[in-house]
Amino acid sequence: MVNVRIYVTYKESVFDPQGDTIKQAIQGLGHTEVLDVKVGKFFDVTLDPTQKELAQAVKEIAEELLVNFNLETYKYEVMEETK
Amino acid sequence: MVNVRIYVTYKESVFDPQGDTIKQAIQGLGHTEVLDVKVGKFFDVTLDPTQKELAQAVKEIAEELLVNFNLETYKYEVMEETK
């Protein structure tokens, strides 16, 4: 089994309203040390690599379901492999 | 400036309905290689470490705003430091 973490974020050019709201809330609580906040999602996916090549599986899952490519982009990293 | 990524996930004992729904949707698309999906959020926070000690700032922000400790837990890692 392989555990893969897929990170989905807004593209640089896209405004992140949730992050902006959280930044303002944090600063409103007195945390002037906080300069910026961006929000993202991640998906911890457990895969069976004997069934499909890892990079191909992640690409298909991201494109078909997890990522809205108009607004978002993604990266992934392999967290753990167990035999 | 320091960029810190704060990961917020459900506790192990808490059911993740969004992850379960996504798993079923992925498997429904024919991805039988996907065995499990868990969902989490992350917050990329840019901090000014001259104003407050980093670990203390992260702890306060997480406790006051980002994490619901009844259901969730968090970890963080320092992504980048620039002078």
Task: Supply the DSSP symbol for A14.
Answer: S
Q: How far is CA B63 from CA B7, B23, B59, B72, B83, in A?
A: 13, 30, 6, 11, 27
pLDDT for residue A80: 82
Question: Average pLDDT of chain B?
Answer: 94
Residue ranges in chain A whose pLDDT is less than 70 = 83
How far away is chain A from the Cα of B40, in angstroms, using its nearest Cα?
5
Tell me whether residues B37 and A46 touch, CB distance under 8 A: yes
User: What is the maximum span of chain B, computed from C-alpha positions, in angstroms?
Assistant: 51
User: What values do phi and psi take at A45, rounded to 5?
Assistant: -110, 125
Q: Which of A2, A34, A36, A63 to mutate to test the interface with B (most CBs of B within 10 A)?
A: A34
pLDDT of residue A2: 94
Judge: A61–B36 Cβ closer than 8 Å, yes or no: no
CB within 8 Å: A40 and B41 = yes
Chain B neighbours among A 31-60 (CB < 8 Å)? 31-49, 51-52, 57, 60
Nearest to B6 by CA among B49, B57, B53: B57
Mean pLDDT of B28-38: 95
Q: Is the CB of A11 inside 8 Å of chain B's CB atoms? A: no
Name the band, by pLDDT with cuts 50, 70 and 90, for residue B83. Answer: low
For the residues B30-58, what does the mean pLDDT come to? 94
What's the pLDDT score for residue A33?
95
**Banded model confidence at residue B80, pLDDT cuts 50, 70, 90:** confident
Chain B positions in Cβ-Cβ contact with residue A1 (cut-off 8 Å) = 35
What is the per-residue pLDDT for A83? Answer: 67
**Conformational region of residue B28, where left means phi above 0, alpha means psi within -120 to 50, and beta covers everything else:** alpha
Helix (H, G, I), strand (E, B) or coil at B71: coil
Domain B2-81: state its class. Answer: alpha beta
> What's the mean pLDDT in B44-54?
93
Please give the pLDDT value at position A53.
Answer: 92
Closest CA to A27 of B6, B18, B60, B54: B60
B83 or A70: which leads in pLDDT: A70
Contacts of residue B44, defined as CB under 8 A and 6 or more positions apart, other chains included, come to: A19, A36, A37, A38, A39, A40, B3, B4, B5, B79
pLDDT of residue B69: 95
Q: Which residue of B has its CA nearest to A50?
A: B33
Q: Which residues of A touch B48 (CB under 8 A)?
A: 32-35
Asked if B12 is an interface residue toward chain A (Cβ–Cβ < 8 A), one would say no
Domain residues of chain A, as ranges? 2-81
